[in-house]
Structure 1
Amino acid sequence: MEGECKVVLDAAVDTEARTQTLRVKPSSKLTTALLLFTLCLAVAAAAVLVFNRHDPGHDEENFDLHHTLRQISNVRAAIHLEGEYNPKRKTSVEWKNGVDQSHFQGGLELNDNEIVIPRTGLYFVYSQASFRVNCISSDADDTTSKPMVHLSHTVKRWSSSYGGRDTTKSYQTILHSVRTACQMKASSDPDEEGSWFSAVYMGAVFNLMRGDRLKTVMEEKMLQGLEDDQGKTFFGVFAL
């Protein structure tokens, strides 16, 4: 009886072991397959990484692309022009780009001595004109009086939004300043006797439209006394 129980018990244990073995085998195969697949993915990713790292052309293309995107995102429309006297221009100074501290970016450009707006938006417009004025009286017999000289500086805007039949003449004043110059006492320096240095600056924010044009207007008789040294006469716009 005892022998029969032992045989039955051994058979039961053997059957249970085989059952567990059969149950474990599929799970083990699936786990092994997953591990092999993950390993393959890791090897492939490492190979791509090594290839890209050793491919200077690929790195250079990525750098150029990132640099270009960074520049596009950071560029804000701006232009700064330096002015100089040009006798051929009777109503304004000659605005120059590419000299001294002048620059332009973001679509703003100089065209026919006017600044062209690239897109609609808010812009800060500014300008300064510096003059050296002769304050000596034109009357030779009058050695005491010093005539007053009025300096004016204007920025005008052309825009298709103004309408009108002749759109080429649709300029309106957006900035205007007048300053009275001339010293009322004699100078101790003979070289500065009768001279008065004055700068007319103005600036403000405007909502401008794409295609608008900005120009400056000055009195012709004052242009010969323009101070065109670096930083004295300028014209600029930048987007807000």
Structure 2
Amino acid sequence: MEGDCQVSLFDAVDAESSKSARTGMKHGSKITAALLGFTLLLAIGAAAFLVFNGHAKVRNDNVVPKLEAYIHHTLRQISNVRAAIHLTGRYNSEIANSVQWTNEVAPSHSQGSLELKNNEIVIPQDGLYFVYSQVSFRVSCHGNDNDDASTTSMIHLTHRVRRWSNSFGDDKYRTILHSVRTACQKTASGDAEEEGGWYSAVYMGAVFNLNKGDRLKTVTEKMLPNLEEEAGKTFFGVFAL
């Protein structure tokens, strides 16, 4: 009997030990699996981070130069805008010997920093510019009844563009464009109806090498009260070449 009890006790102890070992193995397996899963998640996260950074770097390497190129292109376009100004003229009795110029009436326009100040065009930068101007007049060609039939009566129209420049070394204006035009003439054989009214224009234009700060103005010595103010007949302008 005593031997049987000893065998049963040993068997019970072995069974309990085996159960504990199996339970420990199960807990160890769970912990190991959890560690492996966590390690795998870390590996996947690290790989995703590296891939994202790689794509971001490639994207930045592509986008930034394109953005810079676009900005430089836009700035070049802005800087390449040709300076130009076109003014229309009208008669102002308070201004002696000059048309009053304005940039507020169509088809007037300005761009590229060319400005109208004190009835003068101010040059923004050194360079070659085309300067042009035209004045138009309504001219009466009627003569006096006492005029000698053998003589011819003529009206001369004059128009000038004058330049002031710091490079001149003084405060004087120099004439750069000057035009004289004979508006009409009356002869003894002329038809009175044809001699009654003429429309005449004086146009001039040329290229000049101008300096920053130069000022351009016009001088019209006669016939200003007869100035034609309709669009396209009297104008003054400059544009860069």
Task: Pick the TM interval, shorter chain.
Answer: 0.5 to 0.7
CA drift of 1:68 comes to 6.0
Distance 1:67 1:230, change over 3 A: farther
Partner of 2:52, secondary structure, is: helix
CA contact (8 A) 1:135 1:146 kept: no
After superposition, the Cα gap between the structure-2 partners of 1:205 and 1:47, relative to the gap in structure 1 and judged at 3 Å, is closer
Q: Is the 8 A contact 1:136 1:147 kept in 2?
A: no
Q: Structure 1 stretches of 5 or more lacking a match?
A: 1-31, 53-61
Identity over aligned pairs, percent: 60
Counterpart in the other structure of 2:146 = 141
Is 2:44 the counterpart of 1:39? Answer: no
Question: Would you say how many aligned residue pairs link Structure 1 and Structure 2?
Answer: 187
Q: Is the 8 A contact 2:155 2:185 kept in 1?
A: no
Q: Which residue of 1 aligns with 2:157?
A: 151
Distance 2:214 2:82 in 1: 18
Give 3-state SS (helix, strand or coil) of 2:226's partner. Answer: coil
Match for residue 224 of structure 1? 225
Q: Using the alignment, how far apart are the partners of 1:37 and 1:142 within structure 2? A: 104
CA contact (8 A) 2:114 2:121 kept: yes
| 2:216 is the counterpart of 1:214 | yes
Displacement of 1:141 after TM fit? 3.2
Which residue in the other structure is 1:28 paired with? none
Does the Cα contact within 8 Å between 1:182 and 1:195 map onto a contact in 2?
no
Per-residue deviation at 1:231?
0.3
1:149 aligned counterpart, secondary structure = strand
Shift of 1:73: 3.3
Spell out the pairing of 1:1-240 with structure 2 (5 A cutoff). 39-41=51-53, 44=56, 69=75, 71-137=77-143, 139-142=144-147, 147-164=153-170, 167=171, 170-184=172-186, 186=190, 193-219=195-221, 221-240=222-241
Is the 1:183–1:194 contact (alpha carbons within 8 Å) kept by the matching residues of 2? no
Q: 1:70 to 1:98 in 2, by over 3 A?
A: farther
Contact preservation (8 Å) 1:126, 1:202: yes
TM-score, normalisation: structure 1: 0.68
2:219 and 2:154 mapped to 1: Cα distance?
21
> Pairwise CA RMSD of aligned residues?
3.2
Which structure 2 segments of 5+ residues have no match?
A: 1-43
Larger Rg: 2
